[in-house]
Amino acid sequence: MIRFLILRIVFPLLVLWFIRALLKTLFAGFQSSVTQAPKAPPAPHAGGELKKDPVCGTYVSVEASVTKKVNGEVVHFCSPACRDKFRAA
């Protein structure tokens, strides 16, 4: 009777543990295949579209950049300092 109970508790736990390990392995494989995938341009800042700072020439991601509208066009800068320099020029 006790052996029967142990089997009913331990066996499902082992199955769950096995499924979890299997999923972990699959997920790890999926992650490494994602990180190994070639990315378009080499980015100094990760993520998003890259724009060139016209003042210092650094490529900045759109999300991280400081923006300013010049003649209806949005210009991207790496920092407020570069934006101010552009304004002064």
Interface with Zn ion, residue 56, by CB under 5 A: yes
Q: Which range binds Zn ion by CB under 5 A, 5-13, 16-24, 39-47, 81-89?
A: 81-89
End-to-end CA distance of the chain: 88
Interface characters, 26-55, with Zn ion (x: CB under 5 A): ---------------------------x-x
> Which residues are CB-neighbours of 82 under 8 A, at least 6 positions away?
53, 55, 56, 66
Q: How far is the CB of 58 from Zn ion (least distance, A)?
A: 5
Identify the residue whose tokens are 């990180």.
Answer: 35
